[in-house]
Amino acid sequence: MRKRYFIHETGTDRVLNVIFQIMCAFVLLVVVYPLWFVIIASFSDSDLVNTGKVLFYPKLFSTYGYGEIFKNAKIWSGYMNTIIYTVAGTTVNIIVTVTAAYSLSRHEFGGRRFVNALFVFTMFFNGGMVPTYMLISSLGLVNNRLVMILPFCVNVFNLIIVRSFFESTIPPSLYEASVLDGCSHFKYFFYVVVPLSKAVISVITLYYMVAHWNDFFNALLYINQAQLKPLQIILRDILLSNQVFSSGATGGTGMSYAQRYADQVKYGVIIVSTLPIMVIYPFIQKYFEKGVMIGAVKG
Amino acid sequence: MSADPVHGILRRELRLWRVFRRDYQLWIFLLPALAAIIVFNYLPMYGIQLAFREYSFKAGITGGDWVGLKYFEKYVNSPMFGLTIKNTFTIASMSILLGFPAPILLALLFNQIRSPRYKNVLQTTVYMPHFISTVVMVSLLHVFLSMNSGLLTSVLKSLGLLTEKANPIGDPGSFVWVYVLSGIWQNCGWDSIIYLAALSAVDSNLYEACRIDGANRLQIIRHIDIPAITPTIVILLVLNCGNILNVGFEKVYLMQNSVNLSTSQVISTYVFNVGLKNSNQFSFGSAIGLFNTLINFVFLVLVNLISRRVADISIW
């Protein structure tokens, strides 16, 4: 295969190539090392971590922190709530966004321009935090699971991505052929459009899922009952407000032991809360760049 | 004369009916999204009048006495006005100044990697921090930048970039830097996707022609890669500038502490504090929020106008 190279590399290019490689390696290190550090710290003795002795691999390996996390009722309930909000919320998001995007992608649709403008306007103008809060509260949605699912179920940016995908990649002749075969909009949508749109649907599913999983703002504003709180609020209490992590069933062990491992617990919590959402990406990756590009080019 | 008016109306109704028969399924598809947007985005806009009224619990949102610009004056005359505006602008302009070029440079760099597999590994890795939630991100900052045991703190101190007594998490002076640089660490890779996509669309014949003409790789970047992504850069720049005062609430709020408040109190956190958290000054909070939204809106229109004049690129 080498023989096919006709154009000779110049000396400058070789030097540049080395420089680029070094820069890439540096970027890789800067991104990966902090993540790696959190992983090894979650398995190591907290004193050694705090004195800077744990740098490349775990020392005094222990899984005490994870044990404590799995015994903690607050984390379990936060986890359950977050899963409920993420699954239900994303399902609603997808249904609402994809159907609306289909309507807006039909050129013959009468209200198209007006409705489109109605959606886009909300990207740049909004009622603000306080009026929105008062509306949600007057609808009785404060401390109600629905507030994490319904109110902001359509993200206009995602709507535009899907609409552009429908407009640019699904050939109009397909619709004509389907109509001649007796398809209504509903049938055409479910049997033709959706199966052809796996790429873009996966992309916005990822967007919505990450947003729900990491949502802190809405829960901060609208949820204050302990049993409804999602993971991110619980995490804030543990990681940032330094609320004492009750050592649960381990009555026998002394306070100092729990204190000593408090930091280990923190690192563990970071891993346990972040890993599920991080491992999703590789599954969707193959669709990803295609889907993003459509949104980018046609934005 | 010949047109019978009754007949004409009938005809129009018939046409409307036909259009409706043709399109009713599209309306059904649109209904959920439209309802959500109208209820949760447009109804609060109606509630903005709260900013011009005296809120009373009894009278509700729209029933209070009209006080005009009272609350806007209160905000403009308060010492918090200058502080929040200054902090918001500082954070926003630093974010754009440093955060905007970073993904472009990263994309140009990654585009130079020839091995597809290595490039793939690089990309997937740099995307990862994007999935970290704000809460976890801020606690990572606490871990790596704590005054005594923080790993990054000690590295920076030994390199002489930080003084011995510096506390990156607490010092008001370092707040903006920590905020912006950690933002780059988290989102630079993710934001580069869009540029990489644009770069992958470049015709490879161009590269070949360039190399035959004797260009080295820097010249290729300068004369092919950068022009190829310029339209994308301009559009994203306009959108970013339009959001200039929408400094992310979550991260600022979570990074705030009593020590760094002089540089970390921005408009949105101030709205939250006066409007919802500490005291329920609903009208005052609405007024500040509206002020923020209006400035944003004006900025977006201005920047878009400039880009339309200069580059003939508009977002609408």
CA–chain centroid gap for B219, Å, is 33
Q: What is A182-233 written as a DSSP string?
A: T--HHHHIIIIIHHHTHHHHHHHHHHHHHHHHT--HHHHHH---GGG--HHH
Q: Which residues of B22-40 are buried (b: 16+ CB within 10 A; e: fewer)?
A: ebebbeebbebbbebbeeb
Indicate yes or no: CB of A126 within 8 angstroms of CB of B44.
Answer: yes
CA–chain centroid gap for A280, Å, is 9
Task: Let me know: does B250 contact A215? Beta carbons within 8 Å.
Answer: no
Indicate yes or no: CB of A235 within 8 angstroms of CB of B133.
Answer: yes
Indicate yes or no: CB of A216 within 8 angstroms of CB of B48.
Answer: no
Indicate yes or no: CB of B30 within 8 angstroms of CB of A115.
Answer: yes
Please name the amino acid found at residue B315: I
Per the confidence metrics, is the pTM higher than 0.80?
yes
Per-residue pLDDT at B227: 92
- Over residues B258-279, the mean pLDDT reads 87
Report the residue of chain A nearest B212, measured CA to CA.
A7
Helix and strand numbers (H, E) in chain B are: 16, 0
Please state, in angstroms and rounded to a whole number, the distance separating the CA atoms of residues B232 and A131: 35
- The residue among B50 and B30 whose pLDDT is bigger is B30
Please state, in angstroms and rounded to a whole number, the distance separating the CA atoms of residues A171 and A193: 10
The encoded tokens of residue A123 equal: 């990207």
Please state, in angstroms and rounded to a whole number, the distance separating the CA atoms of residues B30 and A116: 11
Indicate yes or no: CB of A52 within 8 angstroms of CB of B151.
Answer: yes
Per-residue pLDDT at A249: 37
- Annotated domain spans of chain A: 71-227+280-298
Indicate yes or no: CB of B135 within 8 angstroms of CB of A35.
Answer: no
Please state, in angstroms and rounded to a whole number, the distance separating the CA atoms of residues A124 and B177: 27
Smallest Cα distance from B1 to chain A, Å? 31
Pairs of CB atoms within 8 A across A/B: 261
Smallest Cα distance from B20 to chain A, Å? 9
The encoded tokens of residue B298 equal: 């004006």
Please state, in angstroms and rounded to a whole number, the distance separating the CA atoms of residues A211 and A157: 13
Phi, psi (5° rounding) for residue A60? 55, 60
Smallest Cα distance from A220 to chain B, Å? 10
Task: Let me know: does B257 contact A57? Beta carbons within 8 Å.
Answer: no
- Chain B residues whose CB is inside 8 A of the A266 CB are 139, 143
Indicate yes or no: CB of B131 within 8 angstroms of CB of A31.
Answer: no
Does A71-227+280-298 carry CATH code 3.90.320.10?
A: no
The complex's ipTM? 0.86
Please state, in angstroms and rounded to a whole number, the distance separating the CA atoms of residues B277 and B271: 9
Optimal mutation site among B17, B40, B71, interface A, most CBs of chain A within 10 A: B40
Indicate yes or no: CB of B61 within 8 angstroms of CB of A236.
Answer: no
Please state, in angstroms and rounded to a whole number, the distance separating the CA atoms of residues B278 and B130: 32
Q: What is the mean pLDDT of each run of 10 residues along chain A (299 residues)?
A: 61 88 94 92 83 82 84 90 96 96 90 89 86 91 92 89 87 90 91 90 91 93 92 89 51 50 84 88 75 51
Indicate yes or no: CB of A31 within 8 angstroms of CB of B129.
Answer: yes
- Chain B residues whose CB is inside 8 A of the A130 CB are 50, 271, 275-276, 282, 285-286, 289
Per-residue pLDDT at B216: 86
Per-residue pLDDT at A31: 94
Q: Is the pLDDT of residue B168 over 90?
A: no
Report the residue of chain B nearest A15, measured CA to CA.
B217
Q: Which domains does chain B have, with CATH numbers?
A: 1-40 (no CATH), 70-311 (1.10.3720.10)
Task: Summarize pLDDT for B109-159 with one digit per residue, the tens.
Answer: 999 988 888 988 898 889 899 999 999 999 999 888 887 778 888 888 888
Q: Where on the phi/psi map is residue A140: left (φ > 0), alpha (ψ -120 to 50), or beta?
A: left
Smallest Cα distance from A102 to chain B, Å? 8
On the 0-12 / 13-18 / 19+ scale of CB atoms within 10 A, A91 is middle
Q: What is B204-249 written as a DSSP string?
A: HHHHHHHHHTT--HHHHIIIIIHHHHHHHHHHHHHHHHHTTT---H
Report the residue of chain B nearest A25, measured CA to CA.
B122
Q: Is the pLDDT of residue B219 over 50?
A: yes
For B138, which of A108, A128, A240 is closest by C-beta distance?
A240
Mean pLDDT of chain B: 86
Indicate yes or no: CB of B216 within 8 angstroms of CB of A132.
Answer: no
Smallest Cα distance from A35 to chain B, Å? 8
- Chain B residues whose CB is inside 8 A of the A273 CB are 133, 136
Optimal mutation site among A31, A130, A194, interface B, most CBs of chain B within 10 A: A130
Smallest Cα distance from B64 to chain A, Å? 14
Indicate yes or no: CB of B271 within 8 angstroms of CB of A129.
Answer: yes
Task: Summarize pLDDT for B171-217 with one digit per residue, the tens.
Answer: 888 999 999 999 999 999 988 988 988 888 888 899 888 888 888 88
Which of B268, B276, B270, B269 shows the shortest CA–CA distance to B293?
A: B268
